[in-house]
A and B are shown apart, each in its own frame.
Chain A
């Protein structure tokens, strides 16, 4: 087939759109090496001062650590709850289970500010404002839909006769779930865990509403940094996070191919 205008339009168009998607994110890279104390390209030489600043500032480090451990706790809780939920719904597969699945995904649809308002009022009553537990609870709720969707996606390929066979051979319900269904759901559980971690690690609006000074997460530090004074340390943090994302995506792509 000869190369038509049609084909050229879509192919170059696609690469232009991809450039629009990827290149703007990469601007933080040169900025992070700037030798100035404000946001801008390096003037005289490359400098690592903003990286040094990140690694010596107890506030940045502790916020990072908080985000990491909160994210891991959230991912663990959300994966356990969400996996059990999806497996139960998969077995039931009736109207009630369908309604339950719709209930569980509401956090995807409700605007972040609205749900954060709801959290704020309720967390005040429960005494959870500005506590790590309060943040973990809120993030677990926000992460649950992603776990349940990905586990469900993994289960959609599972033959319903397999658990039936296990049952007819004398396995109990829990044995069947554990030995037949969970292994089939494993790719979905792993995806769900990663999703849940990222949801928590990234979440900003809820944290702005339900924490004050006691709980400081990485997104909150970045948010405050952007609002008050634009400090190139944010570019250094952003660069490190982007490099981590790149590495993770590369591993993901390589593993699949």
Chain B
């Protein structure tokens, strides 16, 4: 039976990548669940401790708040760029696209470093403001949520722009033209005709930014200066400072479950397949 043989040979192509992913990635991540329920002793003790801890609750609240504000910020700023790129054709359009994609390729570490240079106590922004005698003492622009948010929006913005851009490029202009020729103002035709068509792109962007922000580590750790403890940083503290594997793993499980819930709920509104598997 040639058909069966053929299937076997396609599976031979699939299996190497799939099996190392299962053995060396899926299993280790599942191992965290085991630690959470067994260390230091078997049972749900770590989760009870987690639920009773004010510090953990604060950390979860901060994480969701930062992720939510980052998402909203990225959507608003990203929408403006994506709209301009896809609706006003000009010679500069390719340059605009390139400038949006460029930061995407620059290391997150370097971008966070740039923000530290700008926002620090004696950073360039404070220096300039003091020099201009607009302020007397340096403003606190980082080591607080403001700094984390500015840098997070900067890092996540391309993730919001790209799905919206893909979506908007597929929208035909004739509906807006029809609305305009029937007498709708530019603003009305945007709000009632164009905007609803862009919702799939907006939701894809929102999902990507929110999920990535929930688990983000580098930028909050560097810009937060230990004062804006998002879950990821809280976990590393538990593990690296206190060697508290049980609690750290329980928090990891909670973060994983939270991420999975966000994905499951958004599956009702967002085409996950298009957003995650068929990106670009």
Contact = CB atoms under 8 A, between A and B. Distances in A.
A245 B118 contact: no
Contacts of A138: 24
Nearest to B80: A13
Most buried by B among A22, A118, A138, A174: A118
Nearest to A112: B217
Interface in B111-153: 111-118, 120, 122, 124, 127
Contacts, number: 252
Nearest to B18: A100
A122 B157 CA distance: 34
A97 interface: yes
A179 to B, nearest CB: 15
Interface in A19-43: 20-22, 24-25, 27-28, 31, 39-41
Q: Chain A, interface size: which category?
A: 35 or more
B104 to A, nearest CB: 9
Nearest to B153: A20
Nearest to B124: A27
Contacts of B122: 40
A121 B248 CA distance: 13
A18 B235 contact: no
Given A24-B154, A204-B109, A111 B217 contact: yes
Q: Is the interface of B mostly helix, strand, loop or mixed?
A: helix
A120 to B, nearest CB: 8
A113 B215 contact: yes
Interface string B1-43: 0000011011111111110111011111111100100000000
B100 interface: yes
B28 A121 contact: yes
B105 A109 contact: no
Contact of B17 (A39, A82, A149): A82
Interface residues of B, number: 91
B13 A84 contact: yes
A148 B17 contact: yes
Q: Which of B127, B187, B218 has the most CB of A within 10 A?
A: B218
Given A20-B154, A141-B21, A111 B214 contact: yes
B13 to A, nearest CB: 3
A140 B214 CA distance: 23
A205 B211 contact: no
Given A91-B10, A241-B107, A118 B114 contact: no
B96 A14 contact: yes
Given A85-B14, A92-B11, A97-B14, A22 B83 contact: no
B103 A21 contact: yes
A238 B13 contact: no
A110 B27 CA distance: 13
Interface string B85-115: 1011000001010111111011111111111
Contacts of A119: 28
A39 B117 contact: yes
Contact of B14 (A41, A100, A121, A222): A100
Prevailing SS type, chain A contact patch? helix
A107 to B, nearest CB: 6
Given A14-B81, A104-B18, A144-B21, A114 B105 contact: no
Interface in A155-184: 156, 173-174, 177
B70 interface: no
Contact of A114 (B13, B15, B32): B32
Contact of B20 (A81, A121, A174, A242): A81
Nearest to A84: B13
A148 B16 CA distance: 13
Contacts of B113: 28, 222, 226, 234-235, 238
Contact of A41 (B25, B124, B256): B124
A122 B31 contact: yes
A117 B21 contact: no
A114 B117 contact: no
Nearest to A230: B116
A88 B99 contact: no
Nearest to A26: B114
A223 interface: yes
A222 B280 CA distance: 30
5 contacts: A24-B115, A89-B14, A91-B10, A112-B216, A115-B29
Interface of A: 4, 6-7, 10-11, 13-15, 17-18, 20-22, 24-25, 27-28, 31, 39-41, 81-82, 84-85, 87-89, 91-92, 97, 100-115, 117-119, 121-122, 137-138, 140-141, 144, 148-150, 152-153, 156, 173-174, 177, 198, 202, 204-205, 219, 222-223, 226, 230, 234-235, 238, 241-242, 245-246, 248-250, 253, 257
Given A91-B10, A242-B110, 9 more contacts: A20-B77, A88-B15, A97-B14, A118-B30, A122-B27, A122-B31, A152-B278, A235-B113, A238-B107
